[in-house]
């Protein structure tokens, strides 16, 4: 359940050898040895925005929840309404903390009436497992950690569905966003979810760990561009997607974000903390030239009113963008100053997301 192996070394996904073969630059990430880039962040980002790319996200955790009380248990430990989730559908959700904040932000997939599948952030696998098993003690629900059993490849981009359709045994084009279903892809058994973390269309491919490299190679052979953590971060930032540890944490009120729709009118763990008004608000910022990074102070009228949570040059827009948590009373200003190495740079408040894919 730890993100390090028994020797204390970085863990490797089932695709580690494939990344080395492709010449990826590898970096430590949440206890894993992961590819940050192959050809380069800019090219990989553009491939996903314009055509299709693929990411190794096998480091994410997978839990299965079964039993007659599975739905009741998950309803209690999450904020979204799972009673509305039909079999074959996926739902973005939160695990609220007992003392406030979020334990994690997750995706839940309903397999059947009393069976659910859950994907959690890689850096939170052990924490989430401990939290959920502790809460499950009072319910007739069985949890299974399947994290080591799955390879997970995110195929993303406007041409993703068309490329995969040629090699699938079922109609992918007609599947709606957040669909979740079994299929065969290149003859291999998989589960597919029409979900992603880039702001583009696509499918996340769940494949048995021992078949993950074969799947990766097949996807390479039909022209999919491998993309690393660098492009994944610039893509999700442009789309305004929060990242746990940056925009969310166990000490950040989740309703500081624009994701208020994730909290439904129901009783759940930590509800009394969710109901408190947040003291901060997540805003979008655009700058002219200087990229800003996590932790940089945000000023208004000479006073520090918040900090950058994520920031980068936007490859699509051509200028730096950032998300920042600022005091609620300072959240409606038109412009702020961001301190970079002792110098203030003007940042304009802009609406989130920074980028939204065109309707087709």
* SS3 labels along 116-160: EEEEECHHHHHHHHHHHHHHHCCCCCEEEECHHHEEEEEEECCCH
Tell me which H or E stretch contains 235.
helix 229-238
Cβ burial of 33 (10 Å; 0-12, 13-18, 19+) is: middle
Q: What is the pLDDT of residues 294-323, one digit of tens each?
A: 999 999 999 999 999 999 999 999 999 999
Res 359: pLDDT:
58
**What distance in Å separates the CA atoms of residue 244 and residue 60, rounded to the nearest whole number?**
13
Q: In this prediction, what percent of the chain has a pLDDT beyond 90?
A: 96
* Residue spans of beta strands (DSSP E) within the chain: 25-29, 32-37, 53-56, 61-66, 89-96, 102-112, 115-120, 142-145, 150-156, 180-185, 188-193, 202-208, 225-226, 280-286, 297-300, 303-313, 320-327, 335-340, 343-350
Give the CA diameter of the chain. 62
- Closest alpha carbon to 102 in 260, 261, 273: 273
Q: Which residue has the tokens 């390479």?
A: 220
Q: What is the pLDDT of residues 4-63, one digit of tens each?
A: 555 579 999 999 999 999 999 999 999 999 999 999 999 999 999 999 999 999 999 999
Domains of the chain (ranges, CATH numbers): 15-60+148-239 (3.30.1360.120), 279-359 (2.40.30.110)
Q: Is the pTM of this model over 0.75?
A: yes
On whether the CB atoms of residues 216 and 23 are closer than 8 A, the answer is no
Extract the annotated binding site for substrate: 204
Here the tokens at position 142 are 């069985």
Q: What is the mean pLDDT of residues 214-229?
A: 98
Q: How many C-beta atoms surround the C-beta of residue 301 within 10 A?
A: 9
Here the tokens at position 6 are 């028994």
Q: What is the mean pLDDT of the chain?
A: 96
On whether the CB atoms of residues 284 and 299 are closer than 8 A, the answer is no
Res 318: pLDDT:
98
- Closest alpha carbon to 253 in 335, 321, 350, 328: 328
Q: What does the CA dihedral 334, 197, 77, 143 come to, rounded to 10 degrees?
A: -160
Res 152: pLDDT:
98
Extract the annotated binding site: 204
DSSP class of residue 103 equals: E
Question: Could you check whether the bond before residue 353 is cis, i.e. omega within 30 degrees of 0?
Answer: yes
């Amino acid at each position: 359940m730890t993100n390090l192996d028994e020797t204390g070394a970085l863990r490797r996904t089932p695709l580690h050898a494939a990344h080395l073969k492709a010449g990826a630059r590898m970096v430590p990430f949440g206890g894993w040895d992961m590819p940050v880039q192959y050809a380069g962040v800019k090219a990989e980002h553009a491939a996903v925005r314009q055509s299709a790319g693929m990411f190794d996200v096998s480091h994410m955790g997978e839990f299965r929840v079964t039993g007659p009380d599975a739905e009741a248990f998950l309803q209690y430990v999450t904020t979204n309404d799972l009673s509305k989730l039909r079999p074959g559908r996926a739902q973005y959700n939160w695990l609220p903390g007992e003392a406030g904040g979020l334990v994690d932000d997750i995706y839940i997939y309903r397999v059947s009436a009393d069976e659910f599948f859950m994907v959690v952030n890689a850096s939170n696998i052990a924490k989430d497992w401990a939290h959920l098993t502790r809460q499950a003690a009072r319910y007739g629900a069985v949890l299974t950690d399947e994290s080591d059993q799955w390879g997970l490849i995110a195929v993303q981009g406007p041409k993703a569905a068309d490329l995969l359709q040629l090699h699938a045994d079922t109609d992918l084009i007609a599947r709606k966003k957040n669909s979740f279903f079994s299929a065969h892809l290149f003859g291999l058994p998989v589960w597919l979810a029409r979900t992603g973390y880039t702001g583009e269309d696509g499918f996340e491919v769940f494949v048995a760990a021992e078949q993950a490299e074969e799947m990766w190679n097949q996807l390479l052979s039909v022209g999919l561009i491998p993309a690393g953590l660098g492009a994944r971060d610039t893509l999700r930032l442009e789309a305004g997607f929060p990242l746990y540890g940056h925009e969310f944490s166990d000490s950040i009120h989740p309703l500081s974000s624009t994701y208020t729709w994730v909290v439904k009118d129901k009783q759940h763990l930590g509800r009394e903390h969710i109901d408190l008004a947040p003291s901060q608000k997540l805003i979008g910022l655009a700058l002219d030239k200087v990229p800003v990074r996590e932790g940089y102070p945000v000023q208004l009228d000479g006073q520090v009113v918040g900090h950058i949570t994520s920031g980068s040059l936007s490859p699509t827009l051509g200028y730096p963008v950032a998300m920042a948590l600022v005091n609620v009373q300072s959240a409606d200003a038109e412009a702020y100053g961001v301190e970079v190495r002792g110098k203030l740079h003007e940042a304009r408040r802009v609406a989130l997301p920074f980028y939204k894919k065109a309707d087709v």
